[in-house]
């Protein structure tokens, strides 16, 4: 509908000046630790009559061992199966009937459980989280049920969708299985491992990882800190401390001196796709903000580099996008990736060469406007994402886990604002190297 | 299982616990002893009761009126440096001129597609460049334009908002683009039973009142640039406009910016149109929309209620929540959880500036249509006649009261709620007191509201389904008026399989073959080849197609020289699964069996002795016969079709709706555009004007798939 020429003109004419960047509103965090090791961060905010109660357990797929993969995610399902005083599925019912909402999710480094309720039901959300932390109900029937539910989830979400199974199963091979098993396997795990899980395994996992000393509770919203402290102490104080979980080991995963290319057949794909991923760094690393902005410039949205060069101009790809830590942030590693889907009739190896050239040269040509726009977009999504208690509670957790302190929620933005064009070129030269990469060439499987 | 059985994991407490923490620094251990020793044993086994409900602390808002009459409402909230602007005027579809339904919606869509000095691309690049958003939409009563930005970009937000609202350029290309998209979605809506039901319900409920008017193909096609400009000139005026400014901005600056950007805006909105009253119903009646072959029925039961300002609204909201507001409400629990009749059953209250409405909806299997309707009516009657049990009433009230704070958490959401209350003309403290007023409703008030607001004895019922299967049973419930999906009246005689004279020139039928490329967004995804060949004293139509790796199939349909169908056979694979179909025609009846792709996967096909009127064509063969009709401008061809995957006879309509020059791999050709309706999904054929009338291109409406002739 719109010609390419007019779009370029539009881009030029709307160059955005970088004037006094805005920072998210300051978040005041009050922290304490219960004697049983439960760390608690409170953020008082009376601007709306809601409270977020968000528990992160310091456990994710990175804590799994060979032969027991998929366990952290299976466990997330188990947490909705009831506890001593709460029947199966009742947690959700209690919260929804109070007018609230809830969910949970699993990443490589953490499993979260969050509830957002009107502020006069803070006690309910705390009681529910405490009940399952102290007395999760596990039996053979529950377990069997959830094993099946996870397998169904895999069939629906991964095995029937193009590219997804290849992406989920093979991208972790970016990391070395021997020196970093933690990140070298998928979150969903192997179905054989899941089948092998026993009630005894689940109990051991719960005892080790779902103990108060391995959890962080963040409460954000409309409450009085003294009252919240009393309630937290009342509900969580009596839960016994657990053993200290073993440390996760992952040797630094840097350039290997060789480029790895794997061809993967995909029966759901109609067009070939290429995914290239580079080993990057954890959020606390100085290069992280530059890498994240570079990722946006390369493949975040319609006007990003890959979309302009490969999709719109050369027409060798139908879609392109970057994938920055697609499974979630990791304290011991990072993934900087980009995916392109070949246009009909375009030879996959020709596209691969073109794509590789683009990734290695992209940083040279980035304009100040592109950097400004990437910062604007990061800033606005961060700030708009701080409007709700739930989103703020996630940001406090993120700062505490990945940046080392909940207060880093207030200093993180400055790291992004400070990124320069030179930084982009430097991180591109450091990380976007063939000998630091894995390329998955996903080809439609002949039927 | 019992939560106390051995299967519950209990954390070790007491002795073991203290033994382990004793190595801790003294102070921690001390705290631990003090805090946990008495409480560990006291963990409450029941959920704690709600804490007291604090009075709503709504951010303060300030209201002023500019000299031109525009009201400005500032909701200051400096928690995050964000700003949202919402400009609303009484300019919804209520104000569409007769014969031009859809004007308000189209105009709203065009406001951001060229305004002030910017083109559509420049507008989107500008707002995206600062990480903000800009949009416009029209509802039944109001038209709103809104923007959200970081507060540093507030000037830009005001500028873009004012450009969009006051200075749209309505570029011809953007008008045509939007018209095409609108027509596509209208055509698609006609194939979706829920949309058909909603439209029939609005029409039946409001009659000639503007709320009963809906955009259709003719009205959308008729809207000109002048209509849009005139509508804009009449409705987009300051004297009834409301600007809500919410977020990190102080009241003074907000007013200044409003004055600077909108102060010079002048003019007075045209008066509201004189409207006819909505029909009153003294008894319940059913409108049955016949959808041949439908395997489910969509039911809507409801009535008009009262004006937005009526204070019974709070009590009706509560009664509605108990009846069908959520998945733990009565309709869902009974129709779905207990009876298993439906995928979902809900009810809702629609609030309008004028007369609002109540409705309950369910999508049920055809065979339980009447039972479901009886149950729905019974539940509505019960709500008005039997007191709500206290626990159920309190539980549902708690859900509603509790949810409200989550609905006004952000500056954006606050602005939307406040604007809505102002526009509907509600009391100035409506939003601040909403929760308390809701909490104050008694079970008796809710029941009284149910009695008045859910009028079981004067309800309108709309059912969209296969009338041949449900008409008689619905008649036993209430008087039935039957219409087709276009709203045209139907009689029982119309339901009998129709003898449609086949307007086809048999003498012109000749053997030949066709070949099409399957294009998805212009890219090659497969092919279809077909041929019409002599078969003894009759014909055989053969077709092979492959669409990427999704589907491959071959079909053969045999029929006599008189076009009487003899057999249809199909084999192939759909997403790896085998598909198969065998249909035999004999003595005016058809019998078929097989497995074909359908909604939700492969579906078995099994029908015997279905009546097939003379002139009926198997749906697999119709494409091969299209060239032999007498195509000309304005021609409409009705064909009786056996949908062989379902065993249902229905009438398909092929109507020449225009003439188009199209370019396909074969070259550039003059064609008639032929719209196809009456099947499972609408489609379009492009048939060459030249006497051979070959099909040059075809495809389903609203999907990016096209079959284009290659030879």
Instruction: Report which of B141, B93, B449, B463 is spatially closest to residue B305, judged by C-alpha positions.
Output: B449
For residue A94, the chain B residues in CB contact (below 8 A) are 47
Residue A155 pLDDT > 90, yes or no? no
Which ranges in A21-155 belong to alpha helices (H)?
A: 71-78, 90-97, 122-134, 140-154
- How close does chain B come to A381, measured CA to CA in Å? 7
Q: Is A134 in contact with B28 (Cβ distance < 8 A)?
A: no
Across A193-197, A383-387, B463-467, B550-554, the highest mean pLDDT is recorded for: B463-467
Which residues, listed in sequence order, are joined to residue B288 by a DSSP beta bridge? Answer: B463, B482
For residue B3, the chain A residues in CB contact (below 8 A) are 82-85, 87, 135, 137
A430 touches chain B (CB under 8 A): no
User: What is the structure's pLDDT at B2?
Assistant: 32
Residue A20 pLDDT > 70, yes or no? no
User: What is the structure's pLDDT at B5?
Assistant: 30
Residue A34 pLDDT > 90, yes or no? yes
Confidence of residue A137 (pLDDT cuts 50, 70, 90): confident
Identify whether B270 is part of a domain. no
For residue B39, the chain A residues in CB contact (below 8 A) are 233-234, 237-238
Those of residues 307-346 in A touching chain B at CB distance below 8 A are 318, 343-345
- pLDDT tens by residue, B198-230: 999 999 999 999 999 999 999 999 999 999 999
Share of chain A above pLDDT 90, in %: 74
Q: What is the mean pLDDT of the segment spanning B472-481?
A: 97
Instruction: Report which of B353, B347, B294, B289 is spatially closest to residue B322, judged by C-alpha positions.
Output: B347
Instruction: Report which of B308, B415, B340, B373 is spatially closest to residue B58, judged by C-alpha positions.
Output: B415
- DSSP single-letter state for residue B373: H
A14 touches chain B (CB under 8 A): yes
Taking one residue from A and the other from B, the number of pairs with CB-CB distance under 8 angstroms is 243
Q: Is B395 in contact with A22 (Cβ distance < 8 A)?
A: no
User: What is the structure's pLDDT at B599?
Assistant: 61
- pLDDT tens by residue, B514-546: 899 888 766 777 889 999 999 999 999 999 988
Q: Is the dihedral of CA B314, B318, B319, B323 positive or negative?
A: positive
**CB-nearest partner of B7 from A97, A120, A139:** A139
Residue A180 pLDDT > 60, yes or no? yes
User: What is the structure's pLDDT at B377?
Assistant: 98
Confidence of residue A44 (pLDDT cuts 50, 70, 90): very high
Q: Is A2 in contact with B10 (Cβ distance < 8 A)?
A: no
Say whether both B101 and B27 belong to one domain: no
- pLDDT tens by residue, B445-454: 999 999 999 9
Q: Is B9 in contact with A206 (Cβ distance < 8 A)?
A: yes
Identify whether B486 is part of a domain. yes
Identify whether B214 is part of a domain. no
Residue of B nearest to A268 (CA): B549
Instruction: Report which of A400, A402, A379, A382 is spatially closest to residue A391, judged by C-alpha positions.
Output: A382
Q: Is A127 in contact with B47 (Cβ distance < 8 A)?
A: yes
A60 close to A213: Cβ distance less than 8 angstroms: no
Confidence of residue A254 (pLDDT cuts 50, 70, 90): confident
User: What is the structure's pLDDT at B498?
Assistant: 67
Rounded distance, CA A418 to CA A416, Å? Answer: 5
Residue of B nearest to A203 (CA): B9
A10 touches chain B (CB under 8 A): yes
Which of B471, B495, B519 represents a domain boundary (last residue)?
Answer: B495
- DSSP single-letter state for residue B328: T
Q: What is the mean pLDDT of the segment spanning B414-433?
A: 87
**B64 or B1: whose pLDDT is higher?**
B64
Which one of A209, A238, A386, A389 would you mutate to disrupt binding with B, by most B Cβ within 10 Å of its Cβ? A238
Mean predicted lDDT score pLDDT of chain A: 90
Identify whether B279 is part of a domain. no
Confidence of residue B186 (pLDDT cuts 50, 70, 90): confident
A122 touches chain B (CB under 8 A): yes
Q: Any idea which residue has 């502020």 for tokens? A: A119
Instruction: Report which of A376, A45, A383, A381 is spatially closest to residue B80, judged by C-alpha positions.
Output: A383
Confidence of residue A446 (pLDDT cuts 50, 70, 90): low
* Tally of domains within chain B: 4
A258 touches chain B (CB under 8 A): no
Separation in Å, CA A257 to CA A353, A436, B354: 19, 7, 73
For residue B47, the chain A residues in CB contact (below 8 A) are 85, 94, 124, 127-128
Confidence of residue B27 (pLDDT cuts 50, 70, 90): very low
Q: Is B405 in contact with A94 (Cβ distance < 8 A)?
A: no
A163 touches chain B (CB under 8 A): no
A203 touches chain B (CB under 8 A): yes
Which one of B15, B75, B80, B175 would you mutate to disrupt binding with A, by most A Cβ within 10 Å of its Cβ? B80
Rounded distance, CA B259 to CA B256, Å? Answer: 5
Q: Any idea which residue has 């009786």 for tokens? A: B640
Residue B3 pLDDT > 50, yes or no? no
User: What is the structure's pLDDT at A202?
Assistant: 87
Say whether both B555 and B437 belong to one domain: no
Q: Is A344 in contact with B328 (Cβ distance < 8 A)?
A: no
Q: Is B409 in contact with A14 (Cβ distance < 8 A)?
A: no
Q: Is A36 in contact with B21 (Cβ distance < 8 A)?
A: yes
Instruction: Report which of B585, B537, B578 is spatially closest to residue B557, judged by C-alpha positions.
Output: B585
Q: Is A119 in contact with B12 (Cβ distance < 8 A)?
A: no
Confidence of residue A2 (pLDDT cuts 50, 70, 90): very low
Residue A43 pLDDT > 90, yes or no? yes
Q: Is B17 in contact with A380 (Cβ distance < 8 A)?
A: no
Rounded distance, CA B178 to CA A318, Å? Answer: 24
Confidence of residue B234 (pLDDT cuts 50, 70, 90): very high
Least confident of A301-305, B88-92, B566-570, B616-620: A301-305
Rounded distance, CA B273 to CA B344, Å? Answer: 38
User: What is the structure's pLDDT at A252?
Assistant: 85
Which residues, listed in sequence order, are joined to residue B133 by a DSSP beta bridge? Answer: B148
Comma-separated ranges of CATH 3.30.830.10 domains in chain A: 30-236, 253-444
Residue B411 pLDDT > 90, yes or no? no
Rounded distance, CA B543 to CA B541, Å? Answer: 7
Q: Is B44 in contact with A373 (Cβ distance < 8 A)?
A: no
Say whether both B337 and B439 belong to one domain: yes
- pLDDT tens by residue, B125-172: 899 899 999 999 999 999 999 999 999 999 999 999 999 999 999 999
Residue of A nearest to B48 (CA): A124
Confidence of residue B356 (pLDDT cuts 50, 70, 90): very high
Share of chain A above pLDDT 70, in %: 95
- How close does chain B come to A292, measured CA to CA in Å? 16
Residue A416 pLDDT > 90, yes or no? yes
User: What is the structure's pLDDT at A18?
Assistant: 41
For residue B13, the chain A residues in CB contact (below 8 A) are 238-240
Phi then psi for A416, rounded to 5 degrees? -75, -40
For residue A234, the chain B residues in CB contact (below 8 A) are 39
- Mutual orientation of helices B313-320 and B390-407 as an angle, nearest 10°? 110
Least confident of A438-442, B351-355, B676-680: B676-680
Question: CATH assignment of A30-236?
Answer: 3.30.830.10
User: What is the structure's pLDDT at B581?
Assistant: 92
Q: Is A19 in contact with B152 (Cβ distance < 8 A)?
A: yes
> What b/e readout covers B517-526, taking b as 16+ CB neighbours within 10 angstroms?
bbbbeeeebb
User: What is the structure's pLDDT at B31?
Assistant: 31
**B387 or B574: whose pLDDT is higher?**
B387
Q: Is A240 in contact with B12 (Cβ distance < 8 A)?
A: yes
A389 touches chain B (CB under 8 A): yes
Question: CATH assignment of A253-444?
Answer: 3.30.830.10
Identify whether B330 is part of a domain. yes
**CB-nearest partner of B81 from A13, A101, A383:** A383
Which one of A21, A237, A243, A319 would you mutate to disrupt binding with B, by most B Cβ within 10 Å of its Cβ? A237
- Domain holding B580, by residue range, is 506-709
| Complete edge-to-edge strand list for the sheet that includes strand B342-350 | B342-350, B357-365, B296-304, B460-465, B285-290, B480-483
A265 touches chain B (CB under 8 A): no
Say whether both B70 and B45 belong to one domain: no
Say whether both B635 and B571 belong to one domain: yes
Separation in Å, CA B609 to CA B104, B145, B188: 51, 58, 32
| Cα B4 versus chain centre, distance | 48
Which ranges in B321-478 belong to alpha helices (H)?
A: 330-331, 369-385, 390-407, 411-423, 430-440, 443-453, 467-475
Furthest CA-CA distance within chain B: 105
Say whether both B71 and B105 belong to one domain: yes
For residue B399, the chain A residues in CB contact (below 8 A) are 96-99
Q: Is B50 in contact with A124 (Cβ distance < 8 A)?
A: yes
Q: Any idea which residue has 């009974």 for tokens? A: B334
Cα first-last separation, chain B: 69
Q: How many CA atoms are closer than 13 Å to the CA of A204, on its beta-carbon side?
A: 8
A206 touches chain B (CB under 8 A): yes
Q: What is the mean pLDDT of the segment spanning A311-321?
A: 89
Rounded distance, CA B175 to CA B228, Å? Answer: 9
- How close does chain B come to A439, measured CA to CA in Å? 25
- pLDDT tens by residue, A110-126: 999 999 999 999 999 99
Q: What is the mean pLDDT of the segment spanning B320-342?
A: 93
**CB-nearest partner of B9 from A50, A97, A203:** A203
ipTM score assigned to the predicted complex = 0.84
Say whether both B536 and B452 belong to one domain: no
Per DSSP (E only), the strands in B193-270 are: 242-247
Rounded distance, CA B44 to CA A146, Å? Answer: 28
- CATH at residue B432: 3.30.830.10
User: What is the structure's pLDDT at B679?
Assistant: 79
Identify whether B267 is part of a domain. no
Rounded distance, CA A237 to CA B403, Å? Answer: 30
Mean predicted lDDT score pLDDT of chain B: 87
């Amino acid at each position: 509908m719109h010609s390419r020429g007019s779009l370029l003109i539009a881009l030029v004419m709307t160059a955005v000046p970088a004037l006094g960047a805005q920072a998210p509103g300051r978040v005041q965090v009050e922290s304490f630790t219960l004697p049983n090791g439960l760390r608690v961060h409170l953020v008082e905010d009376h601007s709306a009559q809601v409270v977020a109660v968000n528990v992160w357990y310091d456990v994710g797929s990175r804590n799994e061992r060979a032969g027991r993969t998929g366990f952290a995610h299976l466990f997330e399902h188990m947490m909705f199966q009831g506890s001593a005083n709460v029947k199966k599925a009742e947690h959700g019912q209690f919260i929804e009937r109070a007018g609230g909402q809830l969910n949970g999710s699993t990443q490589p480094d953490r499993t979260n459980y969050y509830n957002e309720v009107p502020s006069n039901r803070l006690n309910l959300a705390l009681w529910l989280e405490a009940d399952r932390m102290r007395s999760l109900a596990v039996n053979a029937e529950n377990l069997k049920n959830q094993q099946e539910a996870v397998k169904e989830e895999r069939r629906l979400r991964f095995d029937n969708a193009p590219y997804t199974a290849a992406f989920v199963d093979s991208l972790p091979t970016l990391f070395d299985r021997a020196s970093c098993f933690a990140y070298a396997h998928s979150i969903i795990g192997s179905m054989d491992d899941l089948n092998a899980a026993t009630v005894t395994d689940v109990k051991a996992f719960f005892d080790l990882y779902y103990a108060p000393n391995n959890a962080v509770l963040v409460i954000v919203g409309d409450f009085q800190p003294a009252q919240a402290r009393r309630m937290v102490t009342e509900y969580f104080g009596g839960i016994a401390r657990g053993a200290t979980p073993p440390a996760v080991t992952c040797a630094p995963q840097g350039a290997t001196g060789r480029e790895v290319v794997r061809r993967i057949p995909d029966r759901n794909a109609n067009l070939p796709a290429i995914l290239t991923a580079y080993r990057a760094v954890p959020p606390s690393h100085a290069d992280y903000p530059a890498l994240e902005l570079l990722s946006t410039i390369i493949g975040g949205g319609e006007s990003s580099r890959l979309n302009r060069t490969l999709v719109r101009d050369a027409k060798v790809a139908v879609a392109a996008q970057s994938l920055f830590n697609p499974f979630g942030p990791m304290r011991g590693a990072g993934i900087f990736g980009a995916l392109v889907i070949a246009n009909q009739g375009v030879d996959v190896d020709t596209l691969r060469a073109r794509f590789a050239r683009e990734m290695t040269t992209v940083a040279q040509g980035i304009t100040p406007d592109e950097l400004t726009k990437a910062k604007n977009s990061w800033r606005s999504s961060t700030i708009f994402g701080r409007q709700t208690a739930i989103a703020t509670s996630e940001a406090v957790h993120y700062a505490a886990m990945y940046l080392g302190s909940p207060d880093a929620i207030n200093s993180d933005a400055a790291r992004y604002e400070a990124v320069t064009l030179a930084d982009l070129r430097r991180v591109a030269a450091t990380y976007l190297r063939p000998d630091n990469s894995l390329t998955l060439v996903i080809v439609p499987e002949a039927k | 299982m019992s939560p106390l059985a051995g299967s519950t994991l209990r954390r070790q407490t007491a002795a073991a616990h203290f033994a382990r923490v004793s190595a801790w620094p003294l102070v921690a251990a001390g705290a631990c002893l003090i805090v946990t020793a008495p409480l560990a044993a006291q963990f409450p086994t029941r959920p704690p009761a709600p804490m007291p409900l604090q009075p709503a602390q709504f951010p303060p808002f300030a209201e002023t009126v500019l000299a031109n009459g525009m009201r400005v409402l500032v909701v200051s909230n400096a928690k995050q440096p964000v700003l949202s602007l919402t400009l609303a005027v009484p300019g919804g579809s209520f104000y569409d001129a007769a014969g031009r339904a859809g004007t308000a919606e189209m105009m709203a869509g065009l406001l951001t597609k060229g305004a002030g000095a910017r083109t559509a691309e420049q507008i989107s690049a500008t707002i995206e460049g600062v990480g903000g958003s800009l949009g416009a939409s029209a509802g039944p009563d109001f038209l709103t334009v809104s923007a959200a930005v970081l507060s540093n970009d507030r000037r830009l937000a005001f500028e873009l908002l004012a450009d969009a609202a006051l200075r749209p350029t309505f570029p011809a290309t953007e008008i045509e683009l939007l018209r095409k998209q609108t027509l596509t979605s209208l055509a698609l809506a006609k194939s979706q039973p829920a949309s058909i039901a909603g439209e029939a319900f609005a029409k039946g409920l409001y009659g000639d009142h503007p709320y009963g008017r809906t955009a259709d193909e003719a009205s959308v096609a008729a809207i000109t640039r002048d209509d849009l400009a005139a509508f804009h000139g009449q409705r987009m005026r300051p004297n009834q406009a409301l600007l809500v400014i919410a977020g990190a901005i102080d009241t003074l600056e907000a007013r200044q910016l409003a004055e600077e950007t909108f102060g010079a805006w002048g003019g007075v909105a045209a008066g509201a149109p004189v409207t006819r009253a909505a029909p009153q119903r003294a008894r319940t009646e059913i409108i049955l929309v016949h959808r041949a072959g439908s395997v489910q029925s969509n039911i809507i039961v409801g009535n008009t209620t009262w004006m937005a300002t009526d204070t019974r609204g709070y009590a009706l909201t509560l009664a509605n929540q108990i009846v069908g507001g959520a998945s733990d409400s009565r309709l869902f629990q009974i129709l779905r959880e207990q009876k298993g009749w439906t995928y979902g059953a809900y009810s809702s209250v629609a609030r309008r500036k004028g007369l609002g409405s109540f409705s309950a909806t369910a999508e049920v299997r055809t065979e339980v249509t009447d039972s479901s309707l009886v149950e729905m009516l019974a539940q509505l009657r019960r709500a008005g006649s039997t007191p709500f049990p206290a626990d159920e009433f309190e539980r549902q009230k708690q859900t509603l009261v509790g949810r409200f704070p989550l609905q006004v958490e952000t500056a954006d959401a606050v602005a939307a709620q406040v604007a809505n209350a102002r526009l509907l003309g509600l009391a100035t403290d409506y939003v601040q007191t909403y929760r308390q007023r809701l909490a104050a409703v008694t079970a008796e008030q809710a029941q009284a509201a149910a009695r008045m607001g859910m009028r079981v004895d004067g309800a309108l019922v709309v059912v969209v389904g296969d009338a041949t299967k449900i008409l008689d049973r619905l008649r036993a419930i209430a008087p039935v008026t039957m219409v087709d999906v276009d709203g045209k009246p139907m009689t029982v005689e119309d339901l009998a399989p129709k003898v449609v004279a086949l307007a086809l020139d048999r003498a012109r039928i000749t053997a030949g073959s066709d070949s099409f490329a399957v294009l998805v967004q212009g890219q090659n995804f497969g092919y279809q080849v077909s041929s019409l060949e002599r078969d003894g004293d009759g014909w055989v139509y053969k077709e092979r197609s492959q669409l990427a790796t999704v589907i491959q199939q071959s079909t053969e349909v045999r029929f006599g020289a008189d076009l009487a169908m003899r057999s249809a056979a199909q084999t192939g694979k759909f997403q790896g699964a085998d598909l198969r179909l065998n249909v035999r025609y004999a003595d005016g009846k058809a019998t078929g069996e097989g497995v074909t792709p359908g909604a939700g996967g492969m579906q078995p096909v099994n029908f015997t002795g279905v009546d097939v009127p003379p002139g009926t064509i198997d749906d697999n063969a119709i494409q091969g016969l299209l060239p032999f009709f007498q195509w000309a401008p304005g021609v409409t061809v009705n064909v009786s079709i056996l949908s062989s995957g379902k065993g249902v006879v229905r009438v398909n309509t092929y109507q020449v709706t225009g003439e188009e020059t199209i370019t396909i791999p074969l070259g550039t050709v003059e064609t008639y555009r032929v719209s196809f309706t009456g099947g499972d999904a609408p489609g379009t054929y492009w048939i060459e004007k030249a006497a051979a009338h070959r099909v040059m291109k075809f495809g389903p409406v609203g999907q990016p798939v096209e079959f284009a002739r290659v030879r």
